[in-house]
Amino acid sequence: MPAALSLPTLFSRLAVLACVWSALGASAAQVDVAGVKLNDTLDLRGSTLQLNGAGVRYKAVFKVYAAGLYVGKKVSTPEEALAAPGPKRVAITMLRDIDADELGRFFTKGVEENSPKSEMVNLIPGLLRMGRMFSDQKQLKAGDTFTIDWLPGTGTLVTVRGVPQPDPVKEPAFFNALLRIWLGPAPADWKLKDALLGK
């Protein structure tokens, strides 16, 4: 019959078990996309958002970035994503080095290809501001992150490498125009579109 454990030994083993369970819980609360860890949920200005879907943007055979879409309630269509109330986030982690100007041009082209022509005039000031922001960054390296947040009452806020960029764009149409880069009728990557919608 095994000897009874002393209280210090018992507490020590319980502490180890607690750490193991904690680690298991942490890993279960993340999704791995091409080596990038995305949390299942996050807090954005007091609102809990959940990861709707995540995937990789490819250009030819090359992985460019990993992206995740966060919303308050799961959506499965572009229309639901665009209409979803409350804060939203697109989280992007670069998987290769890229000239920031080039990425800015990709974004502008994506907006042009997926926005109604009647909206483009109103989107130009926001696109020019975003173009300047990318130009100021010079280069984004593998592992660099940036987020595009929709914050009701504040607008579209871009945060690069953890640093919020000045002057959010207040019009809701601008965030939706950016979201259409990935979810519009001519998305940047069809497989990524499906992945962001949880398909």
Could you give the CA distance from residue 162 to residue 155 in angstroms, rounded to a whole number? 18
Q: What is the pLDDT of residue 154?
A: 94
What is the predicted pLDDT for the residue at 13?
55
| Assigned domain for 72 exists | yes
Per-residue confidence (pLDDT) for residue 17, from 0 to 100? 46
Q: Note whether 157 and 165 are within 8 A (CB).
A: yes
Question: How many domains does the chain divide into?
Answer: 1
pLDDT confidence of residue 123: 92
- 20 part of a folded domain: no
Sign (positive or negative) of CA dihedral 66, 72, 74, 75: negative
- Measured CA to CA, the distance from residue 124 to residue 122 in angstroms comes to 6
- Inside any domain, residue 41: yes
Dihedral angle over CA of 71, 198, 107, 171, nearest 10: -30
- Position 75 in a domain: yes
Q: pLDDT (tens digit, 9 = 90+) per residue, 133-164?
A: 888 888 899 999 999 999 999 999 999 999 88
Is residue 21 in a domain?
Answer: no
Which CATH number is 175's domain given? 3.50.70.10
23 lies in a domain? no
What is the pTM assigned to this prediction? Answer: 0.82
Longest Cα separation, the chain: 82
In a domain, 134, yes or no: yes
The H-assigned helical ranges of the chain are 7-28, 78-83, 100-114, 117-137, 172-183, 190-196
pLDDT at 195: 97
Q: What is the pLDDT of residue 9?
A: 53
Q: Is 95 domain-assigned?
A: yes
Which parts of the chain sit beneath pLDDT 70? 1-28
Structural domain of residue 103, as residue ranges? 32-196
